Amino acid sequence: MKATLLPPAFSCMKRRPSSRDQVLSKSKIAVLVVEDIPQIRAIAIQLFEELGCRVFDAYNGQQALKLLQAHPDIQVLFADVRMPGMSGTELAAAAQHLRPALRIVLTSGYVTQRDVPSDIPFVPKPWRMQDIAAVVVRSGQGRPEGDEGQDGLSWAVPLGR
């Protein structure tokens, strides 16, 4: 039996810009998307661009680490958990060692939050725009005051802290 990979439902829907979008477009957060499946990577890139982010992309962990070294302006690593070679969790550990202040978000359609380190934000596939925005956008809504990173972004504690 052959499986068909379908993009997330939001990819073909038009939506009205929200206040989160306006905050992101003003800040131009730099995001590195790491996904081994080109079609899924393209959807993630489009999603982050629609949120107003500057987007870099890599197809595996080794390429991602090279990009992180070459572009110190990357603030967010958004990586798939299950990739050939270096997994997203392994990439997260290596990236955090290389760049301790880097914010990391993992994603997967095969594993859940229980399967990744508890201190790393996780967004399941298929993605919902509000879930992606919630881990990247400056908000503070529903969070205690002062529960934002040094850069003003709402985050869980970076890996290893």
Cα–Cα distance, 105 to 119 (Å, whole number): 10
pLDDT in the model for residue 134: 85
**Tell me, what's the pLDDT at 80?**
97
Q: What confidence score (pLDDT) does residue 70 get?
A: 98
For residue 94, the model assigns a pLDDT of: 98
The amino acid that residue 37 corresponds to is I
pLDDT-flagged residues of the chain (< 50): 1-16, 19-26, 138-161
Residues 6+ apart with CB under 8 A from 111: 81, 82
What is the set of domains in the chain, with CATH numbers? 17-136 (3.40.50.2300)
Cα 51 from Cα 20, distance rounded (Å): 8
| Euclidean distance between CA atoms 58 and 113, whole angstroms | 23
pLDDT tens column, 74-119: 999 999 999 999 999 999 999 999 999 999 999 999 999 999 999 8
- For residue range 86-96, list pLDDT tens digits in order: 999 999 999 99
Say which residues have a Cβ less than 8 Å from residue 13's Cβ, sequence separation at least 6.
none
**Pair 89, 98: CB distance under 8 Å:** no
What is the number of alpha carbons within 13 Å of residue 113 lying toward its C-beta?
7
